């Protein structure tokens, strides 16, 4: 579990202020907010890469600042937005990089590390990609490999910064399905997204940010209303249903003939 109390994050000036929220195990927590509201800066602070400007962050009841880089790396795994890599690493080599926190400074990955990497690929049903060149995989396959790298890290908390950005619709669904399954397996999952439909369909809890402040937080089914989304995005949004699943759509300003 990771918890913030009266947290302010930023650099020389705060970007996000007075945030008190708890991210609990076995739940998928979605962060919603427009560009510039502080989601990525908050993630950096939760991972200990950026010190708080005010307030506190605790991990399993211990101040995050009291933990070493190695201790944090063994507890928190990070999945960034999809990235391009130049070097022709294989998928299994990319996943093995997630074992860095468990490998000595002058050591090479052990048999146990290789087993963990192979198990992570198998868990995401991409074991067949193990020896393929990472740079030649599709966008969705690459993102699943990066997710496998996070699993191999052996952490208990997973932080994902818009993990489906730039993916096509099919790969977006595949990645999100795997992320949701990890939460049901007991991981603490914190996911940022620009798509409120993702939050409504997948998240247990939602944290809504706007203008450097917490706009609302709570159970996704309870707080994600049309009124809140209209306020959040400064536009007219409707919520419908398809096969029992909620779907958000933008309401047209004028009827089309």
pLDDT score recorded for residue 162: 87
pTM of the model: 0.85
Q: Model confidence over 21-52: pLDDT tens digits?
A: 999 999 999 999 988 888 889 999 999 999 99
Q: How confident is the model at residue 164 (pLDDT cuts 50, 70, 90)?
A: confident
Q: How confident is the model at residue 254 (pLDDT cuts 50, 70, 90)?
A: low
CA distances (Å), 139 to each of 168, 182, 202, in order? Answer: 8, 20, 21
pLDDT score recorded for residue 225: 93
Which CATH architecture describes the domain 1-75+155-220?
A: 3-Layer(aba) Sandwich (3.40)
Query: Where in the chain are all domains bearing CATH 3.40.50.300?
Result: 1-75+155-220
pLDDT score recorded for residue 257: 54
Q: Model confidence over 99-116: pLDDT tens digits?
A: 887 876 667 888 888 999
Q: At residue 126, does pLDDT exceed 80?
A: yes
- 47-85 in b/e form (b: 16+ CB < 10 A) is bbebebbebebbbeeeebeebeeeebbbbbbbbbbbeee
Using CA atoms of 210, 213, 217, 221 in order, give the dihedral in degrees to the nearest 10.
-10
Contacts of 183 (CB under 8 A, 6+ apart): 26, 27, 28, 189, 204
> And the tokens for 69?
């880089």
pLDDT score recorded for residue 174: 82
Edge to edge, what strands does the sheet with 2-10 contain? 14-23, 2-10, 54-59, 62-63
Query: 144, 124 in Cβ contact below 8 A?
Result: yes
> And the tokens for 14?
């705060």
Q: Tell me the HSE value of 55 on the side-chain side, using a 13 A CA sphere.
A: 21
């Amino acid at each position: 579990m990771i918890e913030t109390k009266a947290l302010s994050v930023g650099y020389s000036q705060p970007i996000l202020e007075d945030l008190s929220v708890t991210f609990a195990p076995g739940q998928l927590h979605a962060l919603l907010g427009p560009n510039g509201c502080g989601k990525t800066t908050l993630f950096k602070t939760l991972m200990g890469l950026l010190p708080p400007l005010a307030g506190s962050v605790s991990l399993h009841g211990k101040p995050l600042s009291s933990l070493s880089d190695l201790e944090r790396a063994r507890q928190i795994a990070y999945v960034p937005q999809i990235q391009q890599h130049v070097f022709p690493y294989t998928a299994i080599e990319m996943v093995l990089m997630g074992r860095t926190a468990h490998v000595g400074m002058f050591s090479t990955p052990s048999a146990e590390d290789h087993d963990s990497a192979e198990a992570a690929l198998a868990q995401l049903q991409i074991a067949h990609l193990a020896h393929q060149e990472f740079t030649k995989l599709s966008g969705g396959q690459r993102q699943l490999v990066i997710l496998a790298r996070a699993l191999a890290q052996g952490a208990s908390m997973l932080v994902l910064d818009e993990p489906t950005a730039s993916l096509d619709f099919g790969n977006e669904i595949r990645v999100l399905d795997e992320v949701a399954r990890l939460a049901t397996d007991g991981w603490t999952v914190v996911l940022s997204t620009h798509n409120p439909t993702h939050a409504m369909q997948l998240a247990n809890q939602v944290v809504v940010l706007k203008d450097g402040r917490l706009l609302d937080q709570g159970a996704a089914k309870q707080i994600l209303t049309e009124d809140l989304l209209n306020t959040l995005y400064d536009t007219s949004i409707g919520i419908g249903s398809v096969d029992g699943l909620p779907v958000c759509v933008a309401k047209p300003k004028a009827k089309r003939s």
